[in-house]
Amino acid sequence: KAADLPKLVEVLKQVAKEDPSIRMEINEQTGESLMSGMGELHLEIIENRIKTEKGLNVKTSPPIIVYRETVNKESIVSEGRSPNKHNSFFIKVEPLEENIYEAIQSGELPEGRIKKKSSKELAEILSSLGWSGDTIRNVRNIYKGNIFLDETRGEVHIGEVIEMVLDAYEMVINQGPLAREPCMKMKISLMDIKLHEDAIHRGPAQVYPAVREGIRESMKKASPTLLEPLQVHVIEMPDKFLGAVTKLIGSKRGQMIDVNQEGTNAEVKAKLPVAEMIGWSSDLRSATEGRGTSSLLDQQFEKVPMSIQADIIKKIRDRKGLDENQ
């Protein structure tokens, strides 16, 4: 109910405070409140708590899976032009090396815009990971598993616009070109810029759209792909249900990694796409007459099979209400 909206905002704040692993977000365009958690069961428990403990009857949609966008190869340099046509940004996108990405994920490489103070430690870490001094000097921003490099040479006005360029880069990382999903594992390089002499003609209204267009166009030319979240589960059950569980994993586009049998018990390690895991707990219960248990071991992202990528992108774009040219 519309009248309950202030109460809902208050309740969501309380829930987020009580459980730090829950993330709350309100989409201003659609008015939806988005609750992110550790899986279907976690979200069901939180929903139940909102209804019983907080006394608020909420309506929820089926769970939404958040994908990631990335590129498969190096792009050619693309130009992003400002609306007034007086400023151009030339940008290249390529995949980020696996060891660098892992260093960001583990916290060894701290995220954020590069300040002079922190650049020495950063240089040491990147150098140990195999980057050259020239490349390291160009790093300007490490954001959500992506790195931005400024490879321009002798540009007088770059200092005036670099913060705006980094803002626009972060906007694209938050919403990629395929389906407005977050981006990961990319190295984005600003190769050259052409700016209007007069500062009034190179303000945010000109820089933001130009840089966003440059990055998105480069991504489109670098074989962009969608990554889906996968979970590695360890499933334990009596061995007589091994066949049924193997069949269940196969029906969910899952992959068997390992099978162990000891006496009358069996243990299966399997990798499953999160998109196919809605209702997993009850499916596993019915396949094993309630005697199978499943525990999460690891989470990762892998490429969506090409055969279903276009269909998934279309569904996400429809859900977000995006036009073809958006």
**Residue 275 and residue 206 in one domain:** no
**How many domains does the chain fold into?**
3
Q: Is residue 191 part of a domain?
A: yes
CATH code: domain of residue 285: 3.30.70.240
CATH code: domain of residue 12: 3.30.70.870
CATH code: domain of residue 155: 3.30.230.10
Q: Is residue 316 part of a domain?
A: no
Q: Is residue 325 part of a domain?
A: no
**Residue 128 and residue 252 in one domain:** no
Note the pLDDT tens digit of each residue in 75-116.
999 999 999 999 999 999 999 999 999 999 999 999 999 977
Q: Is residue 38 part of a domain?
A: yes
Q: Which of 196, 222, 248 is the last residue of a domain?
A: 222
Residues 179, 67 contacting (CB under 8 angstroms): yes
**Residue 189 and residue 283 in one domain:** no
Please choose, from the candidates 198, 302, 287, 309, the residue with its C-alpha nearest in 3D space to the C-alpha of residue 257: 302
**Residue 241 and residue 271 in one domain:** yes
**Residue 203 and residue 162 in one domain:** yes
**Buried-exposed string 11-28: b where 16+ CB fall within 10 A, e elsewhere:** bbeebeeeeeebeeeeee
**DSSP code of residue 107:** T
Give me the residues paired with residue 126 across strands: none
At residue 326, the pLDDT reads: 67
- Per DSSP, the three-state class of 80 is strand
Stretch 270-297: mean pLDDT, rounded? Answer: 92
Amino acid at 40: E
How far is it, in rounded angstroms, from Cα 323 to Cα 326?
Answer: 5
**Residue 155 and residue 286 in one domain:** no
Q: Is residue 61 part of a domain?
A: no
Q: Is residue 14 part of a domain?
A: yes
Q: What are the phi and psi torsion angles at 53 (to 5°)?
A: -70, -40
How far is it, in rounded angstroms, from Cα 262 to Cα 238?
Answer: 10
* Residue 1 in this model has a pLDDT that exceeds 60: no
Q: Is residue 60 part of a domain?
A: no
pTM attached to this predicted model: 0.86
**Residue 33 and residue 84 in one domain:** no
Please choose, from the candidates 72, 87, 60, the residue with its C-alpha nearest in 3D space to the C-alpha of residue 203: 87
Q: Is residue 190 part of a domain?
A: yes
**Residue 213 and residue 234 in one domain:** no
Host domain of residue 38: 2-52
Note the pLDDT tens digit of each residue in 117-154.
667 888 899 999 999 988 999 999 999 999 999 999 98
